[in-house]
Structure 1
Amino acid sequence: MARPFIMIAPNGARRSRADHPALPVTPGQIAETAQACHEAGAEALHLHVRDENGRHSLDAGRYGEALQELKRRVPGMRIQITTEAAGLFDVPAQLDCLRRVRPGWASISVREIAREPDLAPDVYATCAEQGTEVQHILYDTADIALLRDWQARGVVVREQSSVLFVLGRYAAGQVSDPADLDPFRAAMPEAVDWMVCAFGPREHACLIAAAQQGGSLRVGFENSLTDHCGQPHADNAASVAALRAQLERHLP
């Protein structure tokens, strides 16, 4: 079995260094983390940037600064920006971010764009026109049904087929389980370019289950700060290294 593709999600929209002292916030910290994670086996990074107060931001200038630093420090690493609303941004702001940043790769939650469905065609057409690869964020099978509808109606173009199955985001205590993957796979068996992230201490167990089924993996402090015993990882790179070691033991 081929080694699975690994993306690191080092910070997310909500956590801070108060949650873990090694959680990166500034462009320099993010780039340093990216370099360490790349050396530990991560091929890509899921990028969130923060404003001057440490809050989640979709500011094009802040993205530009972070992307430039990442290009300098880890030129061989793929970078995906987030368009996550995080309760702060509406769909016009998300669309404006995509137009101003013009990223090579972006994650987009279908349920967030569905807040203003009249703008959905503009969001996906903008990405297609400017060459931004889209990864659809899916939290449950209702999101899959929505994506299928948009695909059938041409709102989402044919080439925009990559998906991320999110396990445990809305579970009690944000605790995921490997079995949480089953409904996603059953509802979308045709998915070829699919990735999994999982919240809580069973993050790695969920990712091993995904890898055994041929999925790509997203790991990092956005989703879990600890191992299965509740012990904090030293940093994001330590989590990547631990996942890699488990993959070597569990995959043929």
Structure 2
Amino acid sequence: MSAVPADRLLITVAPTGAETTKADCPQLPTTLEELVATAKECEAAGAAMIHVHIRDDEHRPTLDLGRLTDTVTALKESTDLVVQLSTGGSVHDPLESRLKVLDAEPDSCSLTMGTTNFGDDVFLNPWPFVCELYQLSQDRGVVPEFELFDLGQVHALNRLLERYGLPAGGKVHVDLVMGVPGGMNGTTDALVAAVRDLPAATTSWSATGIGRSTLAVMLASLSKGGHLRVGMEDVLTLSRGVPVESNAQLVQRAVEVGQLAQRTPMTPDEARSLLGLDNLR
């Protein structure tokens, strides 16, 4: 496929996450049926990639390989979305289980570039684990999305690419995760600093603002030519006191804001080209 036009906007939806409980948010998609229905709605609304966390029968976060494999299969059968599995899981998942996520054969995987204080918890990503996961993604032909929670992780990405070369597919796609208590602020200044220091090999980047930073980060990313990640993993209100009803609602808002910036939602096929998945066929 030819180069993706510069006015295209990659919208990734992160529909579930690992932090919010079903009891606190009944509209959160936690079953496979709910996740597939959400994926279809979000694709129709303008999303091109889905970032997936899964839950067990009690709606608790899990990295069960059978469930992950069934989820990837169902999403690929039901949609054209690029399927990205989280290798972060929940902050309590052991490193060994997180490495096995790639056995489910997703198109893409998240790859967080360092350890981060995550509220009262610690999201553990030691350097040897990062290196092992990256090399595994290269061997398996899974395209990583490098998740960066602070400026130190931006510089760690430079170090990783210098040591091990380009990812599978030859493209470098980054997501700036902003506004996490313990990570970089969800502000324009922080985004500009992070984008300034991205490796020269970076071919595309997106940003997501957690909670109340959602709109500020969305607008800052669009102003810098970046892409967007939205979803109920990251925010549960549209505005103060107004709960999100569905992930498709958040995708649609991203589409509308993108249109103001004269950006057109990317198709899944265009996303595959952007991310280098076309080069792995």
- Do these two structures clear the TM 0.5 threshold for a shared fold by scoring above it? yes
Q: Does 1:224 align with 2:227?
A: no
Question: 1:42, CA displacement in angstroms?
Answer: 0.8
Return the alpha-carbon distance in structure 1 between the equivalents of residues 94 and 232 of structure 2.
25
Return the alpha-carbon distance in structure 2 between the equivalents of residues 243 and 80 of structure 1.
19
Return the alpha-carbon distance in structure 1 between the equivalents of residues 165 and 56 of structure 2.
32
Return the alpha-carbon distance in structure 1 between the equivalents of residues 196 and 132 of structure 2.
30
CA contact 2:188–2:220 (8 Å) conserved in 1: yes
Q: Does 1:8 align with 2:13?
A: yes
Aligned residue among 76, 85, 88 for 1:84 = 88
Q: How far does the alpha carbon of each residue in 1:129-187 deviate from its partner, in whole angstroms, 9 at most, with x for none?
A: 11100111110011112222222222775836221111101269x98333331221122
Return the alpha-carbon distance in structure 1 between the equivalents of residues 31 and 180 of structure 2.
25
Return the alpha-carbon distance in structure 2 between the equivalents of residues 3 and 120 of structure 1.
30
Return the alpha-carbon distance in structure 1 between the equivalents of residues 125 and 49 of structure 2.
29
Return the alpha-carbon distance in structure 1 between the equivalents of residues 132 and 261 of structure 2.
43
Return the alpha-carbon distance in structure 2 between the equivalents of residues 45 and 106 of structure 1.
10
Q: 1:129 maps to what in 2?
A: 139
- Give the stretch that moved more between structures: 157-166 or 111-120: 111-120
Return the alpha-carbon distance in structure 2 between the equivalents of residues 168 and 162 of structure 1.
20
CA contact 1:202–1:228 (8 Å) conserved in 2: no
Aligned CA distance change for structure 1 residues 71 and 93 (closer, same or farther; 3 Å): same
Q: 2:99 maps to what in 1?
A: 95
Aligned CA distance change for structure 1 residues 242 and 85 (closer, same or farther; 3 Å): closer
Question: Secondary structure, in 3 states, of the residue corresponding to 2:159?
Answer: helix
Q: 2:260 maps to what in 1?
A: 249
Q: Does 1:188 align with 2:193?
A: no
Match runs of 1:1-252 below 5 Å: 2-74=7-79, 76-98=80-102, 100-112=103-115, 115-154=125-164, 157=167, 159=170, 161-170=172-181, 176-188=186-198, 190=200, 191-251=202-262
Q: 2:271 maps to what in 1?
A: none
Question: 1:52, CA displacement in angstroms?
Answer: 2.6
Return the alpha-carbon distance in structure 2 between the equivalents of residues 202 and 157 of structure 1.
30
Question: 1:84, CA displacement in angstroms?
Answer: 0.7
Which of the pair has the greater relative contact order for Cα pairs under 8 Å at 6+ separation?
A: 2
Letter matched to residue 124 of structure 1 = Y
Aligned CA distance change for structure 1 residues 220 and 175 (closer, same or farther; 3 Å): farther
Letter matched to residue 91 of structure 2 = G
- Give the stretch that moved more between structures: 42-51 or 63-72: 63-72
Letter matched to residue 235 of structure 2 = S
Aligned CA distance change for structure 1 residues 115 and 227 (closer, same or farther; 3 Å): closer
Letter matched to residue 143 of structure 1 = Q
Aligned CA distance change for structure 1 residues 119 and 17 (closer, same or farther; 3 Å): closer
- Give the stretch that moved more between structures: 233-242 or 148-157: 148-157
Instruction: Give me the CA root mean square deviation.
Output: 2.5
Question: 1:40, CA displacement in angstroms?
Answer: 0.9
Question: Secondary structure, in 3 states, of the residue corresponding to 2:114?
Answer: helix
